[in-house]
Chain A
Amino acid sequence: MIDWEKNSEEILSRALLAGEEGKTLPEILALFPQNQEEIREIFEIIAELSAQKDGLNPAPEILENILSNLAAAKKNKNDSNIKGRLFFSLNIIKKELFMTQKLKIAVPVLAVLVLVVAGAYIYIGNQAKTISVTENEIFAALESELIQEAALAGESDADINVALADEQIINQFNQTYDDSQL
């Protein structure tokens, strides 16, 4: 017996060819006595497929509908040719739209990525700005404190001067005032 698994394509090809040449099924089976079962089953499938033809006929209304739309399509095509001289071709626009449809996943993902990156950039920028403002404020506060301290020091010197001036006046008074003269 010829091994069906190994030689099935060759056997079947020869059997199909014999069928196309007009041989009947019994004649074909007689050519392949060792593989009759397999060939019979496959020819039954072919017969069943061929028998589906009649059951798969379209409704006549569909064709009528298509034919009635053809004139309109031709008119639209002519219109499109005229418009095409002035505007972008409708086909190009359609293709662009189709490409957008093809990128249905990529575009939103890219948009989200852009938003995330932009958000992160803005956030980091704000953080840096906050830090620099804080530093400036600290410097300003320190400077202000130094100025205040300098001012206080100035006031203190003035007090000392006033005190020294008082002391000088008292000394002068003491020198001019003589108890013995009383």
Chain B
Amino acid sequence: MKEADSCRINDLILRAKNGEKAAFAEIYRDYFTPVYRYLYVRTGHKAAAEDLAQIVFLKVYLAISRFEFSAEKKLLPYFFTVARNTVIDYYRRKKIPAVDADRLWDLADPGQNGEEQIIKQEQKKEILAALRELNFEQQEAIINKYLNGLANNEIAKILGKTEAAVRQLQCRGLKKLRIILKKYD
């Protein structure tokens, strides 16, 4: 994350702590998309991702007054830690519904562009489905790195691992993805 971003977030948190709703809204807008994306890929269901996103943001909102911002303790890993725990809780509590391959990844309508767009969507479905075949930690390491653009040191904090361990998870996950995608072909 850029230094300017950190300063802005610090300022937003201070304003949010003083009850400024616009600051809250700005924080959520900055973090909502990556958190939602993470939840969507982890669950594979749009509705589940929406419900869990609501829970994550409520948890953060209720805890924000206790959040101590520092160079080491940033808000983005905190959001993802909450999101991760929420996903774990979701899988623990809920019976996972049988996955309907056509309904999973209810992506946008291909529209008028025709065949090329349909092929792209199929590729998208394939890669996201392959991603879900990885183990939990491999998924975490890859989603946060390549879909959400987090640095390995941030992912390491979320997962409670060293950076080397995170890189190892990514390498193993990517190797496995290559094998899975070859099977799909």
Verify that A and B bind, or say they do not: yes
Given contacts A42-B178, A58-B36, A58-B50, are A16 and B167 in contact (CB under 8 A)?
Answer: yes
Q: Binary interface profile of A, 63-97, with partner B (CB < 8 Å = 1, else 0)?
A: 10111011101100100000000000000000000
Given contacts A8-B175, A45-B127, A45-B174, are A66 and B53 in contact (CB under 8 A)?
Answer: yes
Among A9, A17, A49, A57, the most chain B Cβ lie within 10 Å of the Cβ of A49
On chain A, the residues within 8 Å of B36 by CB distance are 56-58, 62
By beta carbon, the residue of chain A nearest B152 is A20
On chain B, the residues within 8 Å of A13 by CB distance are 167-168, 171
Q: Does the CB pair A12–B175 fall under 8 Å?
A: yes
Q: Does the CB pair B178–A45 fall under 8 Å?
A: yes
Number of chain B residues close to chain A: CB under 8 A: 42
Q: How far is the CB of A89 from chain B (nearest CB, A)?
A: 14
Q: Does the CB pair B33–A57 fall under 8 Å?
A: yes
Among B57, B123, B171, the most chain A Cβ lie within 10 Å of the Cβ of B171
Q: Which B residues between 35 and 69 are near A, CB-CB below 8 angstroms? A: 36-37, 40-41, 49-50, 53-54, 57-58, 61-62
By beta carbon, the residue of chain A nearest B60 is A70
| Bound Cα distance from A46 to B142, whole angstroms | 9
Q: Which B residues between 135 and 185 are near A, CB-CB below 8 angstroms? A: 142, 146-149, 167-168, 170-172, 174-175, 177-178, 181
Known: A9-B172, A56-B147. 17 other contacts (CB 8 A): A12-B171, A42-B174, A42-B175, A52-B147, A53-B149, A55-B124, A57-B36, A58-B36, A58-B49, A62-B53, A63-B28, A66-B28, A66-B53, A67-B24, A69-B54, A70-B61, A73-B61
A-B contact pairs, 29 of them (CB 8 A): A13-B167, A13-B168, A13-B171, A16-B171, A41-B178, A42-B174, A42-B175, A42-B177, A45-B177, A46-B146, A48-B123, A48-B127, A49-B142, A49-B147, A53-B37, A53-B147, A55-B107, A55-B108, A58-B36, A58-B40, A58-B53, A62-B54, A66-B28, A66-B32, A67-B24, A70-B24, A71-B21, A73-B58, A73-B61
**A interface vs B, CB < 8 Å?**
8-9, 12-13, 16-17, 38, 41-42, 45-46, 48-50, 52-53, 55-58, 62-63, 65-67, 69-71, 73-74, 77, 98, 101
